[in-house]
Amino acid sequence: MRMRSLAAAVLIAALPLGALAAPVQLDPPQMREAARIAVDGGRDAAALAMADALLLRDPEDVFALLIRSRALRGLGRFDAAIAAAQSAWDLADSDAQSFDAARVMAQALSSAGRRSRAQFWLRRAAEAAPNDGFRDVAIRDYRYVRARNPLQTSLTFAITPSSNVNGGSSEEEAVLFGLPFVLGGATRALSGTQVTAGAELRYRLPATRRVQDEFSVAGQTQHAVLSDAARDQAPDASNGDFTYTTLDLAWRRVFADAEARRGYNATTVTLGQGWYGGDPLSHRLRLDAERVQRIGGGAELRLGGHLQYEEFDTANSPPVLKFGLAGGTVRRIEGVGLLRLDLETAVSRSDNVALDYRSVRGSVEYRPDRPILSTELTLSASLKMQDFDASSFATGGRFDSTATLGAEMLFREIESHGFSPVLSVTGAWRSSDIDLYDSETLGLRLGLRSSF
Rounded CA-CA distance 98/92 in Å is: 5
User: What residues contact residue 259 under an 8 Å CB cut-off, 6+ apart?
Assistant: none
DSSP class of 372: B
- What value does the mean pLDDT take over residues 177-192? 86
What is the arithmetic mean of pLDDT over 81-94?
97
Interatomic CA distance for residues 230 and 188, integer angstroms? 10
Q: What is the pLDDT of residues 304-363, one digit of tens each?
A: 999 999 999 987 889 999 999 999 999 998 889 999 999 999 999 999 988 999 999 999
pLDDT attached to residue 3? 46
Q: What is residue 151's predicted lDDT score, i.e. its pLDDT?
A: 96
Per cent of the chain over pLDDT 90 is 79
Instruction: Find the mean pLDDT for residues 121-131.
Output: 96
Q: Identify the bridge partners of residue 439 per DSSP, sorted by sequence position.
A: 430
Q: Give 100's strand partners.
A: none
pLDDT for 9 equals 42
CA distance 140 to 196: 31
DSSP class of 375: B
Instruction: List pLDDT tens digits, range 266-280.
Output: 999 999 999 999 999
Q: Give yes or no for a contact between 276 and 243, defined as CB atoms under 8 angstroms apart.
A: yes
63: phi > 0 → left, psi -120 to 50 → alpha, else beta; which? alpha
The pLDDT of residue 301: 96
d(CA 105, CA 122): 9
The string of DSSP codes covering 162-195 is ES-SS--BS-SEEEETTEEEE--GGGB---EEEE
Task: Give, in order, the Cα–Cα distances in Å from 226 to each of 181, 383, 436.
Answer: 25, 29, 21
Q: What is the pLDDT of residue 334?
A: 86
The helix/strand/coil state of 437 is helix
Instruction: Find out if CATH 3.30.70.940 is the number for domain 2-147.
Output: no
Residue 24 confidence (pLDDT)? 58
| Closest C-alpha among 88, 146, 150 to residue 103 | 88
Where are the domains positioned within the chain?
A: 2-147, 150-450
Is it the case that residue 19 has pLDDT exceeding 70?
A: no
Q: What share of the chain is helix, strand, coil (3-state, %, to 5)?
A: 30, 45, 25
DSSP of 197-221: EEEEEEEEPPP-SSEEEEEEEEEEE
β pairing state of 173-176 and 279-296 = unpaired
CA atoms within 13 A on the CB side of 136: 3
Alpha-carbon span 366 to 381, nearest angstrom: 9
Q: What is the pLDDT of residue 393?
A: 82
- Which residue would you say has higher pLDDT here, 432 or 173? 432
* Mean pLDDT value across residues 63-90: 97
**Side chain identity at residue 143, one-letter code:** R
- pLDDT at residue 8 tops 90: no
The pLDDT of residue 21 is 43
Per-residue confidence band for 23, with pLDDT thresholds at 50, 70 and 90: low
For the chain, what is the largest distance between any 2 Cα atoms, rounded to a whole number of angstroms? 110
**Top-confidence residue, 10 or 162:** 162
Mean pLDDT, rounded, for 201-207: 95
Rounded Cα distance between 276 and 420, Å, is: 31
Q: Could you tell me the fold of the domain covering 150-450? A: Porin (2.40.160)
Give the amino acid at 43.
R
**Distance from the first to the final alpha carbon of the chain:** 49
Which range is least confidently modeled, 1-5, 105-109, 386-390? Answer: 1-5
Confidence label for 451 from pLDDT (cuts 50, 70 and 90): confident
Residue 176 has pLDDT above 90, yes or no: no
Backbone dihedral region for residue 231 (phi beyond 0: left; psi -120 to 50: alpha; all else: beta): alpha
Average pLDDT over residues 230-248: 94
Mean pLDDT of 48-53: 95
Q: Give the three-class secondary structure for 274.
A: strand
CB 230 within 8 A of CB 192: yes
| Percentage with pLDDT > 70 across the chain | 95
Buried b (16+ CB within 10 A) or exposed e, 318-335: ebbebebebebbbbeeee
What is the rounded average pLDDT of the residues 40-64?
95
